A and B are shown apart, each in its own frame.
Chain A
């Protein structure tokens, strides 16, 4: 579904991604872990073209994303951000209806129906007319997931979806993501929740300093890391 072919990314003089090769297959759930600044978010942001790459190529279903229109790409790839980025001037239901209305040119009733069903799915059916500022972080993130799903993406990108949440709100968001995973959604997730990673991931990728150091099944990578750097990182975060 997604294939990175020797991707290089620079910010100014800083070499952020160094010849990254990786692939995500249909229905696969890939979790990316690694220390802060290792380039995890940048990998996700390159996939939906929030960042340009300097060399290499990224294929989406066999075609280079560099040649595709943003609108086309984004209907197939959804993104959920660490800090939600809900539209504060719109109500919950308007947040979800916005892209179907303005990108897909869907009829209003149809968009409303879609939004209601998605919001019910993430357990937010009773807050349709609230504004984001009236919701808890966990509720906002669930709305953000529904907003993204409204474009019927084939692949969902999650960038630390629970890092900005109070601990007691993490569970409700992970629950929604697990449900999506069970439904067969392809996913790339950056997270520090190792228990969750072990549970949903088909494969875990460990990144450090702009490179993929090691990749493997959760059991292999988390219990039996081959690389010294992976071991060091895991011992640090598991305490």
Chain B
């Protein structure tokens, strides 16, 4: 065996920079993706056929094509149409649109899982559809949506490594660069793996807290 983590210790600041970039990418694209997902999910359950169709086309395209292709179109393809995005912009946009498409389906099924009687009770008390959605359906749906959303978020964080291919120096690409000077593949990739694991564990811990807070009414 010939493992030597000490040779890569001097690169720790670089790892931390890369991890920080991954965290930034993830937080921004998850936040935008979640907003897109909520908007998309509401469109999917809307009474307007136009809205439903827009949401359908969106999820159809972004769930039906590889993230890598989406990122390459945004970064390498769009300039041909005169739209030039910075790598970071293209990366955020791609990850957010992709995450949003999956979140749309999760939000839709979360809303549809709530008994129809809840909205009927709200309506019969004089609440508008939007107040009913915000005050009655939303809180109940978000509770059941948390576990699948967390799954999706974890997937997005892992998928963020793909933006290394559109030249963003996030965690994975940073590691690759370090390997080219140290030739320590095993050490570098394991460290990268551990960092992803730490980021995702933090996310799971936060989600666990949130879920517990929201299920106050479940204790009997």
Q: Name the residue of chain A whose CB is nearest to the CB of B217.
A: A131
A102 interface neighbour in B120, B123, B135, B140, Cβ under 8 Å: B135
- Is A75 in contact with chain B by the CB < 8 A criterion? yes
Structural contact, B140 and A74, CB atoms closer than 8 A: no
A50 interface neighbour in B123, B127, B128, B139, Cβ under 8 Å: B123
In the complex, chain B residues 31-78 whose Cβ is within 8 Å of any chain A Cβ: none
In the complex, chain A residues 104-135 whose Cβ is within 8 Å of any chain B Cβ: 104, 131-134
- Is A215 in contact with chain B by the CB < 8 A criterion? no
Contacts of A81 in B (CB 8 A): 117, 120-121
A79 interface neighbour in B124, B128, B136, B140, Cβ under 8 Å: B124
Structural contact, A70 and B128, CB atoms closer than 8 A: yes
Q: Name the residue of chain B whose CB is nearest to the CB of A104.
A: B126
In the complex, chain B residues 119-147 whose Cβ is within 8 Å of any chain A Cβ: 120-128, 131, 135-136, 139-140, 143
- Judged by DSSP, the binding face of B is helix
Residue total for B at the interface (Cβ-Cβ under 8 A): 24
Structural contact, A103 and B217, CB atoms closer than 8 A: no
Structural contact, B124 and A74, CB atoms closer than 8 A: yes
Give the size range of A's interface with the partner. 20 to 34
Structural contact, A134 and B120, CB atoms closer than 8 A: no
- Is A226 in contact with chain B by the CB < 8 A criterion? no
Contacts of A89 in B (CB 8 A): 139-140, 143, 214, 217
Q: Give the tally of cross-chain contacts (CB within 8 A).
A: 74
- Judged by DSSP, the binding face of A is mixed
Bound form: Cα–Cα A50–B120 in Å: 7
B217 interface neighbour in A50, A77, A78, A133, Cβ under 8 Å: A133
Interface string of A28-59 (1 = CB under 8 A from B): 00000000000000000000101000000000
B121 interface neighbour in A72, A87, A133, A134, Cβ under 8 Å: A87
How far apart are A190's CB and chain B's nearest CB, in angstroms? 15
- Is A213 in contact with chain B by the CB < 8 A criterion? no
In the complex, chain A residues 84-108 whose Cβ is within 8 Å of any chain B Cβ: 85-91, 98-99, 102-104
Bound form: Cα–Cα A158–B135 in Å: 24
* Chain B contacts to A: CB under 8 angstroms: 115, 117-118, 120-128, 131, 135-136, 139-140, 143, 214, 216-220
Extra A-B contacts (8), CB below 8 Å, given A74-B123, A131-B219: A71-B127, A83-B117, A89-B217, A91-B217, A99-B127, A104-B126, A134-B220, A148-B124
